[in-house]
Chain A
Amino acid sequence: MSNKVYVAGVGLTKVDEHWWTSLEYLMTEASLKALDDAGVNKVDSIYVGSMLSPVLQEQGHLGALLAEELGLSSVPAIGVEAASASGAAAVYAGAREIESGRANAVLVVGVDKMSDGLAEEVTAAMMIGERQEYVGFIGATFYSLNALIYRLYMDKYNIDQEKIALFPVLCHEHAVNAPHAQYPFKIKLETVLNSPYVAEPLRRFETTAIADGAAALVLVNEETGKKLDSPKTELVIEAATDYLTPFQREDPLWFPAVQLSTSKALERAKLGRQDIKILETFDATSIMAILSLESSGFSERGKAWRLLEKGELSLSGSLPCNTFGGLKARGHPIGATSVYQIAELHLQITRRAGKNQVDNAVAGLAQSLGGIASTAFTTILREV
């Protein structure tokens, strides 16, 4: 029986174009906030998730770098990479270390600073999560691959774009009161549908923008948790992988890694889908959110749009989704994003979500995807 893992503190920087600060500063700021929130000043190890920093900042070795910035040099500290799920991969590593009994407290940080690159450099950097030899070299981008899937989806289920394009509208609605959100304002469906194509049919407002941010968690074991006054949640994380290229899969409209990691996480948490009261889905594009909802079993296939249309995913709905704006409106600083997702679940479950507080937020689930669900992490947080 493995040790339980608790989230004892979270720290977030505002997601923004942080022109005046550096990658190091962002991850240090988030870390200090998380350590303060937990009420600890030392940890047994540090894991830092980042996808783009080796390319955009030409900076690797983030583990030792962060330890130095925090004055924690000598603590084991390791950088972790799993494309856009790098943050969740860091959480996975930290959680496993606590479960194994080798650590009492671990600092987990996700960070990326996209504004240091030009749009074309960022677009190219994003492709390090794909298979360069077969896909990258033909000039495909993350968004063009999404566009192909989007077309397939609309054709297969005979669904109009306006049904799917409701997802970013929902996200922006939820970001309005999120202090750390990049775009805290509402948008209309027409705004989404009239925005320029990024890759037809995918429109600009169905994708995310250049974003900088860092998020941090302090994970502790049960014994350490009992000594801390900070509000805590229990964390379970599972992962699965799949072919890097969705078009090599049997069905590009089904994310087996999402299905598998969700089932494993629910099973380990001994929860059913009905017990999950809030959901953080990975809306790197609108279509990815839709497919994640379906692959994780929270919607029937081809019908996720109905949840949107009926308002089930709103803050007052039956399954509030992306309660601080999701990737679209809170922002998607790639390697940091999944740590934001988990931190936001923690804020909800510990009743610190401010105006976005969901009443019965006793358990929540975050889906964090690397590439087009080539890696899927599912994290469940529950009340303790």
Chain B
Amino acid sequence: MVKMNSIVIVGYGGYVPRYRIRAEEIARVWGRDRSELPVEEKAVIGLDEDTVTMAVEAAKIALKRAGIPPSKIGAVHVGTESKPYAVKPSGTIVAEAIGAVPRITAADFEFACKAGTEALQFITSLVDAGRIEYGLAIGADTAQGRPGDALEFTAACGAAALIIGKNKSEGVAEIEACTSYVTDTPDFWRREYERYPHHTARFTGDPAYFHHIVNSVKALLENDGYTLNDIDYAVFHQPNVRFPLVAARLLGIDLEKVKPGMVAGSIGNTYAACSLLGLVKVLDQAKPGERILVASFGSGAGSDSYIIRVLEGIESKRGLAPTLDKFIERKTYIDYAVYAKHRRKILM
């Protein structure tokens, strides 16, 4: 288990694109039963958006809250499985756009839906080691779902950014502990040159999502001496609205602690951004002193979990930028045809 030495989040930001498609609309097109849809609706990028533009939006919001000059950022790492370029880092574009270049490290992380928290592991380590003063960790995705596949109902777009530093007086929250649980579990994958991922249906439940999240969280709690009573909010990766609630039940966590961080129902599964957007939503409402458990899940498979304690700084910094709910509530509905155009699903 990793004990963190005064690692704080000095700024945070979430971004969700404006467009929404209702799961019912997708069901209508494919003739699916509408009684058991995994989410209500999902967020879709505009024609001029991609993972990098969303990452920039989230980073700019995080910077506003952090109140630091971007040149002080020493590392920009983007976790994503939908890089606009197969070869060329998204991190460099983001860093350039926000003015963090050139004295930085920049690279992209890929670990399915936990790439964002994986970037966070790396950034917190750099800060903890004293290699950089501030670092920017981003989870962003324009997730792919094959037309007609179960994933199409949930695969969504969004980005979340955290600026990490060491000075508690600047922090909105302190990352107290973290751990990771990883095995070779092929529940979901996309090979090179493939447009859409493959998945193994129910196999992605028990042996993948639940096994890794439960073990990651249990290890974190047991080894760092936390009990469930220490946790005020629990944020899990949200491939749909049901899985995080089941994970909470398996861990004995009160569902009321999970609900404040639920975002998938209204924006879908934003993959690498998903659990971080849940954290952003909780930071938008939590009080100083409260503790947040965050557990991501990435297919392939693994789970990072974090214990984060909210600091006094949240009160003054929260209002410096729009809350996530502003983005969630700002929406324009599109039908399947427009969605297909925005997501470049129509190939001539």
A residues in contact (CB < 8 Å) with B: 17, 19-20, 115, 118-119, 194, 196-197, 210
Query: Is the beta-carbon distance between A19 and B206 smaller than 8 angstroms?
Result: yes
Query: Is the beta-carbon distance between A19 and B203 smaller than 8 angstroms?
Result: yes
Query: Is the beta-carbon distance between A17 and B36 smaller than 8 angstroms?
Result: no
Tell me the B199-243 residues at the A interface (CB within 8 Å). 200-203, 206-207
Residue numbers in B under 8 Å from A197 (CB-CB): 33
Query: Is the beta-carbon distance between B202 and A196 smaller than 8 angstroms?
Result: no
Residues A19 and B201 in contact in the complex (CB < 8 Å), given A196-B33, A196-B36 = no
Chosen A-B contacts, 6 in total, with CB atoms closer than 8 Å, are: A17-B202, A19-B207, A115-B202, A115-B203, A194-B35, A196-B33
**A193 CB to nearest B CB, Å:** 12
**B152 CB to nearest A CB, Å:** 16
Residue numbers in A under 8 Å from B202 (CB-CB): 17, 115, 210
Residue numbers in A under 8 Å from B36 (CB-CB): 196
Cα A118 to Cα B202 in complex, Å, equals 8
Which of A20, A119, A194 touches B201 (beta carbons < 8 Å)?
Answer: A119
Q: Which residue of B lies closest to A195 (CB)?
A: B35
**B150 CB to nearest A CB, Å:** 10
Residue numbers in A under 8 Å from B201 (CB-CB): 118-119
Query: Is the beta-carbon distance between B35 and A118 smaller than 8 angstroms?
Result: no
**A195 CB to nearest B CB, Å:** 9
Residue numbers in A under 8 Å from B206 (CB-CB): 17, 19
**A289 CB to nearest B CB, Å:** 24
Residue numbers in B under 8 Å from A196 (CB-CB): 33, 35-36
Cα A89 to Cα B207 in complex, Å, equals 33
Tell me the B289-303 residues at the A interface (CB within 8 Å). none
**B35 CB to nearest A CB, Å:** 6
**A5 CB to nearest B CB, Å:** 39
Residue numbers in A under 8 Å from B200 (CB-CB): 118
Residue numbers in B under 8 Å from A20 (CB-CB): 207
**A55 CB to nearest B CB, Å:** 17
Q: Contact string, B177-204, partner A, CB cutoff 8 A, digits 1/0?
A: 0000000000000000000000011110
Q: Which residue of B lies closest to A197 (CB)?
A: B33
8 additional contacts (CB under 8 A) given A115-B202, A196-B36: A17-B202, A19-B203, A20-B207, A115-B203, A194-B35, A196-B33, A196-B35, A210-B202
Query: Chain A interface secondary structure, helix, strand, loop or mixed?
Result: loop
Residue numbers in B under 8 Å from A115 (CB-CB): 202-203
Residue numbers in A under 8 Å from B33 (CB-CB): 196-197
Q: Contact string, B33-54, partner A, CB cutoff 8 A, digits 1/0?
A: 1011000000000000000000
Cα A196 to Cα B35 in complex, Å, equals 7
Cα A371 to Cα B92 in complex, Å, equals 60
**A142 CB to nearest B CB, Å:** 19
Cα A115 to Cα B206 in complex, Å, equals 12
Residue numbers in A under 8 Å from B207 (CB-CB): 19-20
Cα A197 to Cα B35 in complex, Å, equals 11
Cα A20 to Cα B208 in complex, Å, equals 11
Cα A118 to Cα B36 in complex, Å, equals 19
**B250 CB to nearest A CB, Å:** 15
Residue numbers in B under 8 Å from A118 (CB-CB): 200-201
**B89 CB to nearest A CB, Å:** 35
**B180 CB to nearest A CB, Å:** 21
**A19 CB to nearest B CB, Å:** 4
Cα A196 to Cα B36 in complex, Å, equals 8
Tell me the B22-41 residues at the A interface (CB within 8 Å). 33, 35-36
Cα A69 to Cα B115 in complex, Å, equals 42
Q: Which residue of A lies closest to B185 (CB)?
A: A19
**B12 CB to nearest A CB, Å:** 36
Q: Which residue of B lies closest to A209 (CB)?
A: B202
Cα A119 to Cα B36 in complex, Å, equals 17
Cα A55 to Cα B33 in complex, Å, equals 29
Q: Which residue of A lies closest to B36 (CB)?
A: A196
Cα A196 to Cα B201 in complex, Å, equals 18
Cα A180 to Cα B106 in complex, Å, equals 53
Cα A20 to Cα B203 in complex, Å, equals 11
Tell me the B90-131 residues at the A interface (CB within 8 Å). none
Residue numbers in A under 8 Å from B203 (CB-CB): 19, 115
**A144 CB to nearest B CB, Å:** 15
Residue numbers in B under 8 Å from A17 (CB-CB): 202, 206
Q: Contact string, B131-172, partner A, CB cutoff 8 A, digits 1/0?
A: 000000000000000000000000000000000000000000
**B326 CB to nearest A CB, Å:** 36
Q: Which of A19, A119, A197, A210 has the most CB of B within 10 A?
A: A19
Q: Which residue of B lies closest to A196 (CB)?
A: B33
Cα A20 to Cα B200 in complex, Å, equals 15
Cα A17 to Cα B202 in complex, Å, equals 9
Tell me the B246-269 residues at the A interface (CB within 8 Å). none
A-B pairs, top 4 by smallest CB distance, nearest first, are: A19-B207, A196-B33, A118-B201, A19-B206
Cα A166 to Cα B203 in complex, Å, equals 31
Cα A13 to Cα B198 in complex, Å, equals 31
Residue numbers in B under 8 Å from A210 (CB-CB): 202
Cα A197 to Cα B36 in complex, Å, equals 12
Q: Which residue of B lies closest to A16 (CB)?
A: B206
Cα A119 to Cα B202 in complex, Å, equals 9
Cα A196 to Cα B31 in complex, Å, equals 13
**B249 CB to nearest A CB, Å:** 15
Cα A20 to Cα B202 in complex, Å, equals 13
Residue numbers in B under 8 Å from A119 (CB-CB): 201
Q: Which residue of A lies closest to B34 (CB)?
A: A196
**B36 CB to nearest A CB, Å:** 7
Cα A194 to Cα B207 in complex, Å, equals 29
**B28 CB to nearest A CB, Å:** 15
Cα A118 to Cα B204 in complex, Å, equals 11
Tell me the B310-334 residues at the A interface (CB within 8 Å). none
Cα A19 to Cα B185 in complex, Å, equals 11
Cα A119 to Cα B199 in complex, Å, equals 12
Q: Which residue of B lies closest to A119 (CB)?
A: B201
Residue numbers in A under 8 Å from B35 (CB-CB): 194, 196
Q: Which of A115, A119, A197 has the most CB of B within 10 A?
A: A115
Cα A119 to Cα B200 in complex, Å, equals 9
**A23 CB to nearest B CB, Å:** 15
**B217 CB to nearest A CB, Å:** 20
Q: Which of B35, B36, B200, B201 has the most CB of A within 10 A?
A: B201
**B210 CB to nearest A CB, Å:** 10
Q: Which of A17, A119, A197, A210 has the most CB of B within 10 A?
A: A17
Cα A115 to Cα B36 in complex, Å, equals 22
**B275 CB to nearest A CB, Å:** 23
Cα A350 to Cα B170 in complex, Å, equals 73
Residue numbers in B under 8 Å from A19 (CB-CB): 203, 206-207
